């Protein structure tokens, strides 16, 4: 039974971030895109969390592999939970990479400490979901080359606020689960990742010495961990 990777990116990003990882994976891989990338930010702003889930699930349904390993980065963890519930036995395992894993079917915002949650809500209300370019570069792209950081800023796409604040209403799937801890992450610090590791109930934690985007800055190391997980699943 063929098993493949489903690579779920984080907020503002796209399937393009996985390009250096895909070439190093030993199994087929599907790098999904969040919905509405061809829409204007205003049109994209009306999407619900269920719209995101349904769109990504449809991409997975068309994937050639009978079983899938869900690889969720950042806010992608919020989508991975209801997608795993919908796919059922088709899910062979899950790897979370610096990912948000809500407790009790909560939202992305529910993962954050209360002061940070309130600040994020206020900022999004005033500025929308696209941070200033300097913040994108210093946070998401903290360890990227100048060229990659510029590409990140240029391609960043604001999301619907619903992606951050609506409850995912799904539990952690009962499948093998690893968490990739990012040891130099300026977006998800050590304490927050420790909380997410506990929420996931992970069987194994592996480290990558990177900022929030290891698929761009440490693709070889990240790919090695994903291949190791797949070998363990198939073994």
Q: What is the pTM of this model?
A: 0.97
Q: What are phi and psi of 75, to 5 degrees?
A: -65, -15
CATH assignment, 3-234: 3.40.50.1820
Q: Which residues are catalytic?
A: 74
Domain ranges of the chain: 3-234
- Kindly give the confidence (pLDDT) of every residue in the chain, 235 residues in length, as a single tens digit, with 9 standing for 90 and above: 699 999 999 999 999 999 999 999 999 999 999 998 888 888 888 999 999 999 999 999 999 999 999 999 999 999 999 999 999 999 999 999 999 999 999 999 999 999 899 999 998 998 889 999 999 999 999 999 999 999 999 999 999 999 999 999 999 999 999 999 999 999 999 999 999 999 999 999 999 999 999 999 999 999 999 999 999 998 7
């Amino acid at each position: 039974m063929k098993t493949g990777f489903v690579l779920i990116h984080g907020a503002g990003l796209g399937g393009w971030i996985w390009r250096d990882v895909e070439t190093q994976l030993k199994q087929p891989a599907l790098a999904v895109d969040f919905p509405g990338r061809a829409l204007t930010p205003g049109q994209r702003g009306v999407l619900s969390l269920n719209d995101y889930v349904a769109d990504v699930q449809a991409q997975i349904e068309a994937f050639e592999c009978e079983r899938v390993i869900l690889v969720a980065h950042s806010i992608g963890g919020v989508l991975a939970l209801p997608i795993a519930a919908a796919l059922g036995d088709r899910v062979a395992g899950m790897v979370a990479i610096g990912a948000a894993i809500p407790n009790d079917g909560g939202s992305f915002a529910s993962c954050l400490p209360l002061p940070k949650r309130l600040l994020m809500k206020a900022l999004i209300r005033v500025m929308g979901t696209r941070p200033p370019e300097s913040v994108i570069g210093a946070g998401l792209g903290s360890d990227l080359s100048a060229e990659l950081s510029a590409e990140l800023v240029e391609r960043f796409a604001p999301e619907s606020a619903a992606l951050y604040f609506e409850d995912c209403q799904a539990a952690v799937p009962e499948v093998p689960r690893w968490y990739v801890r990012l040891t130099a992450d300026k977006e998800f610090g050590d304490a927050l990742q420790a909380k997410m590791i506990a929420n996931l109930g992970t069987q194994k934690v592996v480290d990558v010495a990177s900022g929030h985007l290891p698929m761009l800055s440490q693709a070889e190391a990240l790919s090695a961990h994903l291949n190791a997980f797949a070998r363990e699943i198939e073994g």
